[in-house]
């Protein structure tokens, strides 16, 4: 394992959910893999006045729940947490920033990472104070959690402020979907093998379906979610990035800008929606009470922090088109929702059926080839081929070719493990550049505008189902069904 350079990781929002559930467990795993050098320190910041021990106690339960029993060792946890320090910091207090500067004073040369895991309204103020307290050094980096703004205008204001303090090379806009192992494998599959390229275009691919379905609801984030909605929370970033990885041209190299140039071209080639197109190509839904995994759950409007007459969407389905030579005419169906029947994250590439079938196919199959890239609940890649069913007749049935390039018995790294180490290494390939982010906002803005000005309620669906009926109708118009209704 390659040990990374010594670093100080400063987490703004250190008492928050992301730090406890994702960042700390990810760093624990990297510690156990001996990837962290001895000097590496983690400085968690929060508004509350807590001792270091009280902080560790506070995050323990949430962090521990993310580490499987096979990997949790008390001794290792103790050694790992000796790297963690807690400091009280009010994002508006110059004195608190001065304290932080004092704490970091002995490590001016070291890689210094400021991880902003707070509400985005605080990003600009934090960056200004970092600059004012002379905390930003040539070897410093800033990580910005999503959502970055609410629309293009607010994102621009934040970016302008961050860029007045950090150069683009120092800015890491994180989209953790890019750090998922299956997404890396999709790139390896596409750009590390010769056999897929001739199949990867219109004429061969009939449609692409990307589904991110969650069983969870708004999980105590009601107030945030009600202002945000699924389009901003999942579509503008995670779904858009997955679509880019599926649709991008082979980059010249895996160098950050080469990869990001190609992703940007995909977003720019997406057909813009007129208000009429929005109505024809999108569905927004909101869950009502129902049963998930056998347990009763309340409807969205009854969750804490949600306005009684809220029209915020908890489900989105849409049909996108990419206007370029490779993808002309191929529909991309995207859907994501909360409180769905199952937790599923997958990209399905549906190839055309044979021009002329000479074999009968087994009942329940339509005889087409599919490539599944699964992100949730387990990461895997499967190619579904047709093969002869055992017996004395030539009847075909789909068989699954497991293309799991990582190996069955290896632990798949959590996305944050990979991404945090990339920040330390200074590799921006899996981070979003400002122009990509802007292009993504530009694409979703017409949808936001139509929905926000519409008097119509979202399409309701019962929790624990596959979303509103209208999502099925949306794609049925292309004579397609969602693969494995979730």
Nearer to ligand BG6, 395 or 448 (CB): 448
Bridge partners, residue 144, by sequence = 116, 173
Nearer to ligand BG6, 16 or 345 (CB): 345
| Active-site residue, selected from the candidate residues 31, 176, 238, 341 | 238
Nearer to ligand BG6, 12 or 273 (CB): 12
Residue 224 CB, shortest distance to ligand BG6, in Å, is: 9
Nearer to ligand BG6, 176 or 206 (CB): 176
Nearer to ligand BG6, 214 or 462 (CB): 214
Dmax (CA) of the chain: 82
| Distance in angstroms (rounded) separating the CA atoms of residues 290 and 284 | 18
Task: Show the tokens assigned to 29.
Answer: 């795993």
| Distance in angstroms (rounded) separating the CA atoms of residues 305 and 218 | 10
Q: Under the criterion CB under 6 A, does residue 417 sit at the interface with ligand BG6?
A: no
- 238 as an active site residue: the answer is yes
The footprint of ligand BG6 on residues 142-201 (CB under 6 A) is 176
Residue 214 CB, shortest distance to ligand BG6, in Å, is: 5
Nearer to ligand BG6, 86 or 115 (CB): 115
Bridge partners, residue 113, by sequence = 9, 141
Q: Under the criterion CB under 6 A, does residue 233 sit at the interface with ligand BG6?
A: yes
Q: Under the criterion CB under 6 A, does residue 214 sit at the interface with ligand BG6?
A: yes
Task: State the number of CA atoms in the 13 A half-sphere of 26 facing the CB.
Answer: 21
| Distance in angstroms (rounded) separating the CA atoms of residues 265 and 279 | 25
Residue 345 CB, shortest distance to ligand BG6, in Å, is: 6
Residue 376 CB, shortest distance to ligand BG6, in Å, is: 6
Alpha-helical runs (H) found in 192-231 = 222-230
Residue 238 CB, shortest distance to ligand BG6, in Å, is: 6
| Distance in angstroms (rounded) separating the CA atoms of residues 251 and 67 | 35
| Number of DSSP helices (H) and strands (E) in the chain, helices first | 15, 17
| Distance in angstroms (rounded) separating the CA atoms of residues 305 and 302 | 9
| Distance in angstroms (rounded) separating the CA atoms of residues 372 and 351 | 11
Contact letters for ligand BG6, residues 365-404 (x by CB under 6 A): -----------x----------------------------
Size of the site for ligand BG6 (CB under 6 A): 5
Give how far Cα 374 sits from Cα of 108, 208, 243, 403, 430, Å. 42, 13, 14, 11, 19
Q: Does residue 12 sit in helix, strand or coil?
A: strand
Q: Given candidates 345, 464, 467, 468, which one binds ligand BG6 under the rule CB under 6 A?
A: 345
* Location of structure tokens 């599959």: 189
The footprint of ligand BG6 on residues 94-133 (CB under 6 A) is none
Q: Under the criterion CB under 6 A, does residue 331 sit at the interface with ligand BG6?
A: no
Residue nearest to ligand BG6 (CB): 233
Which residues are the active-site residues?
238
Residues in contact with ligand BG6 by the rule CB under 6 A: 176, 214, 233, 345, 376
């Amino acid at each position: 394992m390659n040990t990374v350079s010594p670093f100080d990781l400063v987490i703004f929002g250190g008492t928050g959910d992301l730090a406890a559930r994702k960042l700390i467990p990810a760093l624990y795993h990297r510690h156990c893999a001996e990837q962290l050098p001895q000097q590496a320190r983690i400085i968690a910041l929060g508004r509350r006045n807590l001792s270091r021990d009280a902080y560790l106690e506070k995050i323990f339960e949430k962090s521990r729940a993310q580490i499987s029993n096979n990997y949790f060792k008390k001794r290792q946890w103790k050694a790992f947490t000796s790297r963690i320090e807690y400091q009280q910091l009010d994002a508006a207090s110059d004195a608190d920033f001065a304290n932080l500067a004092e704490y970091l004073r002995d490590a001016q040369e070291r890689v210094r990472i400021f991880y902003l895991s707070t509400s985005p309204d605080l990003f600009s103020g934090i960056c200004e104070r970092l600059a004012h307290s002379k905390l930003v050094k040539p070897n410093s980096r800033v990580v910005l959690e999503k959502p970055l703004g609410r629309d293009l205008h607010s994102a621009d204001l934040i970016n302008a402020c961050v860029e007045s303090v950090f150069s683009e090379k120092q800015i890491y806009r994180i989209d953790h979907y890019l750090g998922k192992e299956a997404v890396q494998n999709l790139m390896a599959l596409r750009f590390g093998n010769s056999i897929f390229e001739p199949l990867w275009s219109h004429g061969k691919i009939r449609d692409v379906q990307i589904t991110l379905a969650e069983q969870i609801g708004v999980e105590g984030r009601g107030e945030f979610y009600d202002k945000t909605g699924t389009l901003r929370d999942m579509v503008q970033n995670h779904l858009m990035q997955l679509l880019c990885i599926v649709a991008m041209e082979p980059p010249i190299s895996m160098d950050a800008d080469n990869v990001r140039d190609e992703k940007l071209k995909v977003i720019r080639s997406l057909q813009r929606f007129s208000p009429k197109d929005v109505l024809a190509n999108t569905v927004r839904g909101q869950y009502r009470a129902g049963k998930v995994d056998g347990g009763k759950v309340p409807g969205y409007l009854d969750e804490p922090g949600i306005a009684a007459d809220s029209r915020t969407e908890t489900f989105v389905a849409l049909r996108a088109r990419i206007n370029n030579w490779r993808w002309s005419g191929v529909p991309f169906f995207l859907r994501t929702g909360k409180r769905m029947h199952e937790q599923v994250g997958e990209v399905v590439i549906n190839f055309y059926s044979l021009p002329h079938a000479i074999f009968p196919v087994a009942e329940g199959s339509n005889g087409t080839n599919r490539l599944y890239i699964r992100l949730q609940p387990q990461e895997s890649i499967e190619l579904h081929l047709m093969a002869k069913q055992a017996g004395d007749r030539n009847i075909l049935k789909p068989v699954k070719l497991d293309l799991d390039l990582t190996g069955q018995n290896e632990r798949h790294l959590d996305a944050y493990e990979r991404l945090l180490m990339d920040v330390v290494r200074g590799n921006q390939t899996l981070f979003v550049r400002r122009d990509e982010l802007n292009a993504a906002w530009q694409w979703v803005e017409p949808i936001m505008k139509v929905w926000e000005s519409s008097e119509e309620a979202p399409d309701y669906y019962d929790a624990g189902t596959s979303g509103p009926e209208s999502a099925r109708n949306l794609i049925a118009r292309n004579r397609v069904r969602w693969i494995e209704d979730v």
